[in-house]
Structure 1
Amino acid sequence: MDFLVGTFYTSKLFTLRFTPAKDAKKCKLEIKSTSEAIGGHSWLSLSSDKKHLYTTVWASPPAVASYRIEDDHTLIPLNSAPVRAMSGYVCCSETTLYSAGGPTGEVFSIKKDGSIGSLLQNLEFRDQGNENDGARNGVAHGDFGGLRHGSHSIDLSPDGKVIYIADIGHNCVWSYSVTGNEGKLENRKKWIASRGNDGPRHTWPHPNGRILYSVEEHSCYVDALSISETGDLNLISGARIIPDDKDEKKYWADEVRLSRPVPGSPRYLYASTRGLEKETKGYVAVFALDENGRLKGEALDIFETATSGGIANAVEPAPMVDGQEGVEYLAMTDSQEGFVFVLAFDGNKIVEVARRQLVGEDGKTLAAATAVWL
C-alpha cells in the first residue's frame, strides 16, 4: 500500500510503502522513492483517478502546483500557478482546482493533461478595506501568511455542487455553490461556529451529503453539522477531542477524517490535535458514527501521539485491507521530528504499528506535512 507525503519546507515528495500484517509487530513502513518537488508542499490533493497530484507551495511568492503520477508512483512536475496569499489547502474536481489560504482563495481550470490552467476566479474572505478583519496577534508558531487567522481549508461536497471553507479567524464555515462546467463559485453563505472560541480549521463531508464535520482549532471540539435542502448548516452535536483533564489552550486541533466506507457508510470519525509547545504531546480521537453519520457519543479512544506533532499531526485513513476488515489503518505525519507513522484501530484502541523518519541529504530531519493514499 503506497502513499505520498509532502514536507513544509523541502523540495521533495516522498512515496512510502506500508505493508500491513495481522501481527502488528510485523507491519512495515519504508521509503520507496523520493521525487523532486517544486517547493515545500503543506497540502496534497489527488485527482479522482489518482493520476495527478495537486499541492500547495510554501514559497515566496506562494503558489499551487501539479504533478503527474507515474506507474511506479514517482512524480513528474507539470507546472505551478501563483496565488495571492500562502495556500493552506487545495482540492480538485475533474475540471477545476480550488485553493484557500488566509485572506484569499483562487479557482483555476485544469487542462486535459492534468496541469493547472487559467485563473477563473479570485475569492476574498476579508471585508474590503479592512486588513485586520479576522486577524489575531501573538499566535504561536507564527502567522503563516494569514493562515493562523483566516481561511484554512477548502473541500467539495460529494456531489461536487458545493464548496466548504473553514475560516479560523472569522470563526465560521463558508459555503459556495459550484456553477457551470467551469466550476466557478457563487451564492456564499456563512455558518458561525457554535462556540465563541472554536476557530474552524478543517471540514469534511459525509458521503451522504447531509452532514458536514468541522474540527475547531481553538476549542478542540469536532462538530457534526446538518446540511439542509437549502444548504444551511446547523449544529447536531459536538464532542471534545482531547482528554477531559487537558486545557484546550495548550493545544491546536488539526484534522478531521472519516474511515473508508467499505461496505456501507463510514463507521468511524477520526480527529487529531497538536500540542502548542514541543513538550506537549498531541492526540488522535476516534468516534463511532451511526448509519446516517451522526456521532454516537464521546470518543471511543483518545490516543496520545509520540510528539506534539509540530504543525502537522495530520491523519489520513488508508483503504481497507482484504482479510483485515476489523482493523483500520491511518497515516499520520509529524513535523517536529520528521516522522511518518501508521496507526491502527481495531474498534477499541488506537495503536502505532509502524514509523519512518524523513531525513534530508544533510542528515537533518524534514518536517512531514500531509499524506494521501494511492
Structure 2
Amino acid sequence: MDFIVGTFYTPRLFTLRFTPDKDIRKCKLEIKHTSDAIGGHSWLSLSSDKKTLYTTVWASPPAVASYKVNTDHTLTPLNSKPVRAMSGYVCNSSTTIYSAGGPTGEIYAIDQSDGSIGPLLQQLEFRDQGAENDGQRSGVAHGDFGGLRHGSHSIDISPNGKNIYIADIGKNCIWSYTISSDQGKLENQQQWLASRKNDGPRHCWPHPDGKILYSVQEHSCYVDILSISDSGTLDLISGVRIIPEDTDEKNYWADEVRLSRPVSGAPRFLYASTRGLEKETKGYVAVFALDEEGLVKGEAIEIYGTATSGGIANAVEPAPIVEGQEDVEYLALTDSEEGYVFVLSFDGSKITEVARTQLVDEDDKTLAAATAVWL
C-alpha cells in the first residue's frame, strides 16, 4: 500500500510503502522513492484516477502545482500556476482545481490532454465578505503562515460534485457555494457562522450521502456536525470535544477531521486530530462511532495520545481497507516536529502505532512532514 507525503518547506515528495500484517508487530513502513518537487507542499489532492497529483506550493511567490503520478509511483512535475496568497488546501474535480488560502482563492481549469493546470477561471475574495463572529486572533504561537490562520484554510467538494465548502478561521465561519455548470465556477455564496466565538473552523469533510458536514474547530478543539439542506444552508446538529475533558484547549490547535473508509455501507467512524501548541504538549487522535446517517453516537471511543506534538501537522488520513483485515482500519499520521510519518491501526476500540519512518535529507536533517494521500 503506497502513499505520498509532502513537506512544508522542502522541494521533495516522498512515496512511502506500508506493508500491513495481521500480526501488527510485522507491519512495515519504508520510503520507496523521493521525487524532486517544485517547492514545499503543505497539501496534496489526487485525481480520481490517481494519475495526477495537485498540490499547494509554499514558496515565494506562492503557487499551486501539478504532477504526473508514474506507474512506479514516482512523481514528475507538470506545471505550476500563481495564487495571490499562500494556499492552505487544494481539491479537484475531473475538470477543475480549487485553491483557498487566507484572504483569497483561485479556480483553475484542468488541461484534459495531460492533467496539468490550465487557465484561471475565477478568483475568490473572503476578507471583505460576510459577517464576522470573532475568534481568537491573538497569541498565534506558530506564526501567521501568510494569513492562513486569519482567513480561509480549506476547500472541499461535496460528494455529488455540486457544492464547495470552505472553512475560514479568520471569519470564524464556513462558506458554501454552488458549483455552476460554467466550467466549475462558484456562485450562490452562503455563510455559516461558527457556534462558538473561539471556534476557528479549519477543515471540513462531507459525509458520503451529502447531508452532513463535519467541521473541525482549530481553537476550541471541537468537531461540529452540521446538516446540509437542499439549498446548501448549514445548521448545527451537535458538537463533540476532541481532546480529553481535563485538558485546556488553549494548549492545543485542532487539525483534521476525516471519516473511515467502509467496506460497504456508510462510514462507521469519525477521526479527528489535534496538535500541541508547544513541543512538550503531545497531540491527540480522537475516534467517534457514527450511525448510518452520519451522526455521532455518544462519547469518544478512544482519544489516543500521539508520540509528538505533531508540530504544525499531526494530520490523519485513513487508508483503504485491507482485504482480509476488514476488522482493522489503518491511518497515516504526519508529524512536522521531528519528521515522522506513522501508521496507526484502529480495531474498533483501540488505536495502536504499528509502524513509523522519518523523513530526512542527505545531511540527516529532519524534514517537516505535512500531509498524506493514499495511492
Q: Is the 8 A contact 1:153 1:165 kept in 2?
A: yes
Give distance in 2, aligned partners of 1:85 and 1:312: 20
Note if 1:326 corresponds to 2:327. Answer: yes
**Secondary structure of 1:364's aligned partner:** coil
One-letter amino acid matched to 1:200: P
Matches within 5 A, 1:167-178: 167-178=168-179
The equivalent of 2:88 in structure 1 is 88
Aligned partner of 1:105 in structure 2 is 105
CA distance in 2, matches of 1:244, 1:137: 24
Specify the code of the residue in structure 2 equivalent to 1:105.
G
Q: CA deviation at 1:140?
A: 1.1
How far apart are residue 262 of structure 1 and its match? 1.5
Counterpart of 2:3, as a letter, is: F
Kept after mapping to 1: 8 A contact 2:218/2:255: yes
Distance 1:84 1:168 in 2: 18
What letter matches 1:346 in structure 2?
A: D
> Residue in 2 aligned with 1:41?
41
Shift of 1:137: 3.8
Distance 1:136 1:174 in 2: 19
Could you tell me how far apart the structure 1 residues matched to 2:263 and 2:224 are? 23
What amino acid does structure 2 have at the position aligned with 1:85? A
1:194 and 1:294 mapped to 2: Cα distance?
A: 18
CA deviation after TM superposition for structure 1 residue 138, in Å? 3.4
2:193 aligns with 192
Distance 1:327 1:117 in 2: 40
Q: Distance in 2 between matches of 1:134 and 1:296?
A: 28
AA aligned to 1:168 is I
Corresponding residue for residue 12 of structure 1 = 12
Residue aligning to 1:359:
360
Counterpart Cα distance in 2 of 1:135 and 1:171: 9
Q: Secondary structure of 1:25's partner?
A: helix
Where in structure 2 are the equivalents of 1:80-159 lying within 5 Å?
A: 80-112=80-112, 113-127=114-128, 136-159=137-160
Unaligned runs of 5+ in 1: none
What letter corresponds to residue 13 of structure 2 in structure 1? L
**Aligned AA (1:169):** G
Counterpart in the other structure of 1:261: 262
Matched, 1:345 2:346: yes
**1:304-335 Cα deviation digits (max 9, x unpaired):** 00000000000000000011111000000000
Which residue of structure 2 lines up, in the alignment, with residue 202 of structure 1?
203
* 2:206–2:213 CA contact under 8 A, matched in 1: yes
Unaligned runs of 5+ in 2: none
- Report 1:259-338 matches (<5 A): 259-338=260-339
Structure 1 residues 75 and 184: alpha-carbon distance in aligned structure 2, compared to 1, 3 A threshold? same
Partner-residue secondary structure (3-state), 1:329: strand
The residue type paired with residue 368 of structure 2 is A
Rounded to whole Å, the distance in 2 between the matches of 1:160 and 1:38 is 29
Deviation at 1:160, TM superposition (A): 0.6
Q: Distance in 2 between matches of 1:346 and 1:176?
A: 37
| 1:237 Cα deviation from its structure 2 partner | 1.0
CA distance in 2, matches of 1:175, 1:5: 28
Q: Is the 8 A contact 1:311 1:336 kept in 2?
A: yes
Distance 1:136 1:233 in 2: 24
Which residue matches 1:246? 247
Which residue number corresponds to residue 62 of structure 1?
Answer: 62
User: What corresponds to 2:222 in structure 1?
Assistant: 221
Write out per-residue CA displacement over residues 70-116 of structure 1, whole angstroms, 9 at most, x where no aligned residue.
00000000000000000000000000000000000000000011000
Q: CA deviation at 1:135?
A: 9.1
Q: Identity of aligned pairs, percent? A: 79
User: By how many angstroms is 1:181 displaced?
Assistant: 4.5
Q: Judge conservation of contact 1:176–1:189 (CA < 8 Å) in 2.
A: yes
2:101 is aligned with what amino acid?
A: G
Distance in 1 of aligned mates of 2:136 and 2:51? 38
Whole-angstrom distance in 1 between the partners of 2:136 and 2:223: 23
Cα distance in 2 for partners of 1:197, 1:249 equals: 10
Q: Which amino acid aligns with 1:237?
A: S
Letter in 1 for 2:76: I
SS at match of 1:306: coil
* d(CA) in 1 for partners of 2:255, 2:151: 14
Query: What is the TM-score normalised by the length of structure 1?
Result: 0.98
Q: Deviations over 1:52-72 (max 9, x none)?
A: 000000000000000000000
Q: Alpha carbon RMSD of aligned pairs, Å?
A: 1.2
| Alpha-carbon contact 1:210-1:228 (below 8 Å) kept | yes
Partner SS, residue 4 of structure 1: strand
Aligned residues: 371
Residue aligned with 2:146, SS: helix
Whichever residue aligns with residue 209 of structure 1, its letter is G
